[in-house]
């Protein structure tokens, strides 16, 4: 399965399908070997003591690429924020990603996620190109963010 964002436009609305990569445990050598150095959207999770995945981070990457960003954000030795450093030191971290070469599409996908996951926080803005944004997720594990 390709790990890309697909967009369809109809009547001024955007319909995105996010095809996620497999969720993998964050191990620096594996990240260096398997994550592409391309632009895209990624999610970071940590597995708590009850063996549940908890969303830590969802973001888009344009410059620098997914590989270097995921690698940095999952290494407690490279993290400066004490809160995240503690989480990374205490729990196993997992990630997944999808590729996109369109920054404005990634902006709209993140806007959708922020509206659903963090309503009212004004965390992200849409590109303003569409009246409505709809999103569907597909992943090998049948695991959806929303």
Q: Higher-confidence residue: 143 or 46?
A: 46
Q: Give this prediction's pTM.
A: 0.91
Q: What is the DSSP string of 25-43?
A: E--HHHHHHHS-SS-EEEE
Whole-number pLDDT of residue 1: 61
Whole-number pLDDT of residue 144: 74
Residue 146 predicted with pLDDT over 70: no
* Model confidence band, residue 117 (pLDDT cutoffs 50, 70, 90): confident
86-115 residues labelled b (16+ CB within 10 A) or e (exposed) = ebbeeeebbbbbbbbeeeebbbbbbbbbbb
* CA 59 vs CA 12, 21, 41, 55, 126: distances in Å: 25, 15, 6, 11, 14
The CA distance from 127 to 137, in Å, is 20
The CA distance from 132 to 129, in Å, is 9
- Residue 24 sits at the vertex; the CA angle it makes with 22 and 36, to the nearest 5 degrees, is 75
Whole-number pLDDT of residue 118: 75
pLDDT tens per residue, range 75-102: 988 888 888 888 999 999 999 999 999 9
Q: Higher-confidence residue: 143 or 130?
A: 130
pLDDT tens per residue, range 18-71: 999 999 999 999 999 999 999 999 999 999 999 999 998 899 999 889 999 999
Name the DSSP letter for residue 64.
S
Residue 56, CB half-sphere, CA atoms under 13 Å: how many?
Answer: 22
Q: Where are the alpha helices (DSSP H) in the chain?
A: 28-34, 65-73, 82-90, 103-117
Q: Higher-confidence residue: 122 or 100?
A: 100
Out of 2-6, 26-30, 113-117, which region has the weakest mean confidence (pLDDT)? Answer: 113-117
Whole-number pLDDT of residue 79: 82
């Amino acid at each position: 399965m390709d790990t890309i964002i697909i967009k369809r436009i109809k009547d001024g609305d955007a319909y995105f399908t996010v095809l996620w990569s497999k969720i993998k445990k964050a191990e620096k050598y594996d990240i260096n070997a398997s994550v592409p150095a391309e632009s895209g959207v990624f999610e970071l999770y940590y597995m708590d003591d009850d063996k549940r995945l908890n969303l830590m981070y969802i973001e888009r990457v344009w410059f620098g690429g997914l590989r270097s960003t995921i690698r940095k954000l999952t290494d407690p030795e490279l993290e400066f924020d004490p809160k995240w450093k503690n989480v990374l030191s205490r729990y196993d971290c997992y990630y997944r990603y999808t590729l996109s070469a369109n920054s404005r599409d990634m902006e709209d996908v993140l806007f959708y996620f922020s509206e659903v996951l963090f309503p009212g926080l004004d965390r992200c803005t849409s590109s303003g190109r569409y009246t409505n944004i709809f999103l569907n997720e597909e992943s090998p594990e049948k695991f959806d963010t929303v």
